[in-house]
Each structure stands twice: as structure tokens, then as C-alpha cells.
Amino acid sequence: MSSHDRKTSREDARVDVEELGLDRLVPVNPAAPLDLGDEAARVRGAAGKKDLEHATRRLLDRLEELQDAFYADGRHALLLVLQGRDASGKDGVIKTVYGAFNPTGVRVAAFGPPSSLELKHDFLWRVHQVVPPRGMVGVFNRSHYEDVLAVRVRELASEDVWRPRYAQINAFEEMLHANGVIIRKCFLHVSRDEQRERLQERFDDPRKNWKFRLEDLEDRARWDEYTAAYTEALTRCSTPWAPWYVVPADDKAVRNYLIADMLLRTLESLRSTYPVIQPDVRHAAKHID
Ligand code: AMP
Ligand code: MG
């Protein structure tokens, strides 16, 4: 075995991130200005697709191992919130990164326009119901943040309705955290050009036509309004108990690697352990024939 093979996956991951020309995701600092310009959607000098995918595969293998202990341990739930403009890659992250997990322990929820019943409730009602229970790794494809994003930009409610929601969201997430839910939130940041290409592909490719909606173009036309809404949501709601991360998402391989790396560090920090058999059970088991 070479010295390289003997390195732990943690060391491997540390070497990788430098060698791959990437900076790890760091939480949005609520006290600093946030730059969501097009440049921040790309990483200059990142490794090529093959190397990134290979390194991601290693992270995903390790994530799967950790998920097994996380499930058995059952003290925490993990919730990854994915937000981003149309075609920013939310489905791709779920497929690639969450695809590595044992499906038994996974909960996926997607949020579209609220139903008439949902609109009769408070905006967190439909969200709270699908928060993953302990032992589960969950992911939200869009989330309660739409209630300060789409709702704000498309003027579906007045400002005196949506503005108090930042504080309501922070309180909600703090309550979840206090009850064992580990929350991580990723904004998949794509540039205007990249989104144009991806939307065009949805239009041109018959296998992708179904993903294309007229609303996508309407939202694209409100690019700057969404940037302002995202900037405020990410800074107001990046908290110690539920940090936001801006993921440069023009390159899918970079995006997947950085999210897998962040989740791996999150799961490692929990130090999940396998419950041991109680002495009386162990004693009884001696008599299994
Ligand atoms: P997609 O994720 O592309 O399938 O589209 C879902 C659509 O639902 C997006 O246009 C979202 O903006 C919209 N949506 C999700 N949640 C809400 C909400 N709470 N209020 C209004 N629109 C929403
Ligand atoms: Mg869409």
C-alpha cells in the first residue's frame, strides 16, 4: 500500500480541495456585503471535469458510509435547502449528491406554487410537515425562501407581509436546530449567460422541453430584482444555526464537489455512533440457535 493510499479520507479531501484549485464553501457573513454578480458563479483555474468527478466520487463514498452511522445513531436530522434560479442545477445536485445515499434514509421535498389550502395556512405550514425526522437526510428543492423571493419579486404579497418573514424564518430554523435538525442552505449561483444556455437547451432538446416553462422567462426578465431579493435573504438569514452558502454553479462538476465536501464536513462533525447492544439483549442473544 502506498503512503497515498494510507491517508485518511479526511486528509485526501484536504489535499483535493487545494489541488483542484477550489476554495471550500464558507457561510455567508451577514455583516459583510454579498456579491452575487456573474463572476461569482465561476471558479477560475479549477481542475477539469474528470478530476473533479473522480474526487467527488470519493467524497460521495465517504458520505454514504457516514449516512449509515447517522441513520443508526438517530440523534439528528440533516436538511439541505437548495435555492437557485431556474436551471441552476437543483435537480442535478439531488441526483448526484443525494443519489449517493441509501434511499431508505433520504427525504426529498420540492416546493412549487402553494395550493389554495396551503395559502390558507401560514407560509411555514407546508414546510414544517416535510422537515426530515431524526435519522434522515433531507433535501428541499426550493423552500420557504420562495416566500421572500418569488413572492417578493412577483409581488404576490405586500411588503408588510413578506418583510417580517426573515425574522420568522430565522426563528423557525432556530427551533428546528434546537430539536436536532442540522440545517445547511445552498444558493446555486449561475450567471446570466449560463442560464441562457441552459434554458435554450431545454427549449431545443425534446427530452428537456418538459422542464421549460414560460415563467422561467418572466423570472429571467426580473434578474436584478431576484438578485436583490436573494442578497437580502442570504444575508438576513445566514445564521450560526442555519448558514447559507453561495455555490459557484456555472460548472456542474465544481458545484457537486463543493456541496459534497461541505456535507461531508457537516456529517463528520456530528460524530455519529452506532448504538451498541444492551447487556441483557446480548445475553439473550447467546441463546440464538
Ligand atoms: P420549479 O422548481 O422550476 O419546478 O418551479 C417551481 C415554481 O414554483 C417556481 O417558479 C417557484 O418560484 C414557484 N414557487 C415555489 N414556492 C412558491 C411560493 N411559496 N410562492 C410562489 N411561488 C412559489
Ligand atoms: Mg423551473
Average pLDDT rounded to a whole number, residues 198-225: 96
Domain that residue 249 falls in:
3-271
Residue 171 CA to its chain's centroid (Å): 20
Per residue in 243-265, pLDDT (tens digit) is: 999 999 999 999 999 999 999 99
Q: Is the residue at 227 inside a domain?
A: yes
What pLDDT score does 1 carry?
Answer: 37
Measured from the CB, is residue 215 less than 6 Å from ligand 1?
yes
Position with higher pLDDT, 240 vs 5: 240
Q: Is residue 281 part of a domain?
A: no
- For residues 105 and 95, what is the distance between their CA atoms, to the nearest angstrom? 15
Residues, CB within 5 angstroms of ligand 2 (ion): 86
* C-beta of 122 in contact with ligand 1 (< 6 A): no
pLDDT of residue 8: 52
Q: Residue 192 carries which side chain, given as an amino acid letter?
A: R
In a domain, 280, yes or no: no
pLDDT for 194 beyond 70: yes
Other CB atoms within 10 Å distance of the CB of residue 94: 18
The domain that holds 166 is classified in CATH as 3.40.50.300
C-beta separation of 78 from 98 below 8 A: no
Does pLDDT of 157 surpass 60? yes
**Does residue 72 carry a pLDDT above 90?**
yes
Q: Does some domain include residue 117?
A: yes
Residue 34 to residue 232: CA distance in whole angstroms: 9
CA of 50 relative to ligand 2 center, distance in Å: 28
Tell whether 74 is covered by a domain: yes
pLDDT at 5: 45
Q: For residues 159-172, give the mean pLDDT.
A: 98
* Ligand 1 contact, 142 CB (< 6 A): yes
In the chain, the number of structural domains is 1
Query: Atom of ligand 1 at shortest distance to CA of 216?
Result: 10
What integer pLDDT is reported at residue 16 of this predicted model? 77
Cβ of 261 below 6 Å from ligand 1? no
Classify residue 284: in a domain, yes or no. Answer: no
d(CA 45, CA 176): 38
Residue 192 contacts by C-beta under 8 Å, 6 or more apart in sequence? 38, 223
Q: Could you report the per-residue pLDDT of 15-45, keeping only the tens digit for each?
A: 578 899 999 999 999 999 999 999 999 999 9
**For ligand 1, atom 2: residue with the closest CA:** 112
127 lines ligand 1 (CB under 6 A): no
Three cell numbers written together for 72: 443508526
How high is the mean pLDDT of the chain?
94
Predicted local confidence at residue 14, as pLDDT: 54
* 102 in any annotated domain: yes
| Any ligand 1 atom below 6 A from CB of 146 | yes
